[in-house]
Amino acid sequence: MNNILSGFSNVLIIGCGGAGLRAAIEVKMSGLNVKVLGKRLKSDAHTSLAAGGINAALGNLDHNDSWKQHFIDTYIEGYGIGDPSHIEIMVKEAPDFVKEVDNWGANFEKLPNGKLDQRFFGAHKYRRTCYSGDYSGQSILNALLKKSSLLGIPIDDEQYVTDLLVKNNVCFGAVSFNIKNGQKCINLADSVVLCTGGHTRIWKINSSRKYENNGDGLYLGLKAGCSLIDMEMVQFHPTGMVLPEEIAGTLVTEAVRGEGGRLLNINGERFMKKYDKKRMELSTRDRVALANYTEILEGRCTANGGVFLDISHRDKEFIMRKLPRIYNQFLEYQNLDISQKPMEVAPTAHYSMGGIKVDADNHSACVEGLFAAGEVAGGLHGANRLGGNSLSEILVFGSRAGLAAVNYSRNSSKSLSCELVIKKCLNSIDEIMHSGKNEIEPMERDLQSLMWLNCGVVKDEQKLKDAIKSILKIKNKSQSLVINIENGNYRDLISAYNLKASIISAEATLLSSLNRKESRGSHQRNDYKLIRKKENVNYIVRLKNNELEISKQSTKDVPKEFKNYKFILESKNELKGKLLE
């Protein structure tokens, strides 16, 4: 690892999923030099797992749909703590971005009149989710990669970023190493855009894959001086696979329920009528997840600890056309034909609503020259994310962050660099490789189990306090890790950085969860079962003197267009929007 490469770009993008690619496209089309770094094969970025669709209030099927209704659905189902400015920007701009990416080759399903088809998704008043079967994320990713290739955007998807380069609260690049040969690289830039995803891999049962969503972008941001917002808000998707054990938690898309899938307990009861009689399976993700969790906890589950999701009442041709990936997924892993038999599902850690605190308009962080977009950024979703909004988010805010980075780069008086900062970041890679005594994998498993048991679908004060104590022990052990890089294998080094990122992300999540003394959306506590008006705030976490500190801020007012709408907090632990003039 003695050879050190260096390079310069006007804008450096960290992350080669949908948000990163859309940001890079914006930079390149603006005429500036851009480079994209990723640590996973660009064609297999996490965006590819977003199956069900992308939201845009086009009104192609339900003509009464509008950006205002999309705003209401998003704000209400975020339980009133999502940033209204974020939401307004996304819902207004999503239609143009959806049409754009379809023109670039996403190939969404079309109606006979040539307009985009739209399906129901949970908690949407109207059909507004555009889709490509049940592989919408992959189709969007392919379209963005095709556009990036046409523009000649350089993408290096073999780089693990270890540190952002920051001096006097100004970001001027990042340090990384090649995951194949370990070569260090100094990536200098006028501005940097973080698009690194979330942190749900730190739960034992999750919908992420190995080496992704360990909170590495959150860790980079914290070390650089950024704040995190809403870290207690982690979405547990209602339907993850139960078997086989090695892939437990793998996502079963909401599109199954959107196309008529029914949830049943072991008694054959369609139990959602007890939890949301009106919307049933198309209720909010937090409510369906809690319903599934409750049925399982109270013993009305299968022998494998799941509930049934049944789509077998639809004909096979329909299933093969609308849900081809899910059909093949169960056939491959369980030899189960879902057109004949129901699936077994259970909640799975799926999405980080919290993330780096950014400005709604340009997605700038509190560090100059640093921007963030996609799942790594917080503020949009509040306490619960609507299905289909994440793909809208990566396009709208990926573009905005890219354009903001362009404007910042153009207005920079001169390129900043600091040899001392660079040397310190390079040396930290050498320091982490010093021979230690603690194996990484057992610590990863301990952390995942700890988060699942103590900070899962339902939490309480004692479990959270116990988890914080345990996390600190794991943190201390992580100072001395066994890292073997013989024979050119740098997986141990990657795992070491992932572990450190996971620990700090877990600590931030636990701290925020402990401080929010109520149940709201995805954050459910046994000891505080109702929404509390005094908790109508956002919790903010920062790293100061190597310790996390927490504060809170008041939520923002809704736009003037909604001043005559009354939003009502009800004691039944739900937030409803009634259009009361």
Q: Residue for token digits 């709408």? A: 565
Say if residues 425 and 47 touch (Cβ distance below 8 Å): no
- Dihedral, CA of residue 485, residue 488, residue 494 and residue 500, to nearest 10: 20
Q: Minimal CA–CA distance to 189: which of 345, 412, 367, 18?
A: 412
Helix (H) or strand (E) holding 7: strand 4-14
**Long-range contacts of range 543-552, CB-CB < 8 Å, 24 or more positions apart?**
543/222, 543/223, 543/225, 543/504, 548/504, 548/507, 548/508, 548/511, 550/511, 550/512, 550/515, 552/515
The C-alpha atoms of residue 73 and residue 94 are separated, in whole angstroms, by 15
Dihedral over Cα of 92, 384, 40, 221: its sign? positive
Paired tokens of 382: 């509040």
Q: Give just the sign of the alpha carbon dihedral 475, 160, 199, 357.
A: positive
DSSP letter at 100? Answer: H
Catalytic residue among 22, 40, 237, 525: 237
Phi (first) and psi of residue 548, to 5 degrees: -80, 135
Q: Are 215 and 363 in contact (CB under 8 A)?
A: no
- Distance, in Å, from the CA atom of 523 to the CA atom of 530, rounded to the nearest integer, reads 11
14 strand-pairing partners: 37, 194
Q: Collect all residues with Cβ–Cβ distance below 8 Å to 125 and sequence separation of at least 6.
A: 65, 69, 72, 73
Rg (CA), the chain: 23
By C-alpha distance, which of 353, 45, 367 is closest to 193? 367
For residue 86, indicate whether it is catalytic: no
**Rounded Cα gap, residues 342 and 308, in angstroms:** 6
Candidates 257, 350, 363, 516; catalytic one: 257
Exposed/middle/buried for residue 64 (C-beta within 10 Å: 0-12, 13-18, 19+):
exposed
Helix (H) / strand (E) element for 566: namely strand 566-570
3-state secondary structure at position 98: helix
Alpha carbons 508 and 503: distance in angstroms, whole number: 9
Q: Is residue 257 annotated as part of the catalytic site, yes or no?
A: yes
To 10 degrees, what angle do helices 491-515 and 419-432 make?
100
Q: Measuring CA to CA, which residue among 528, 514, 387 is closest to residue 462?
A: 514
- Residue 126, CA distances (Å) to 301, 395, 565 in order: 32, 21, 19
- Rounded CA gap, 453 and 463, in Å? 8
Q: Helical H runs in 352-490?
A: 389-411, 419-432, 440-454, 461-477
Q: Distance between CA atoms of 270 and 3, rounded to whole angstroms?
A: 62
**Residues marked as catalytic:** 237, 257
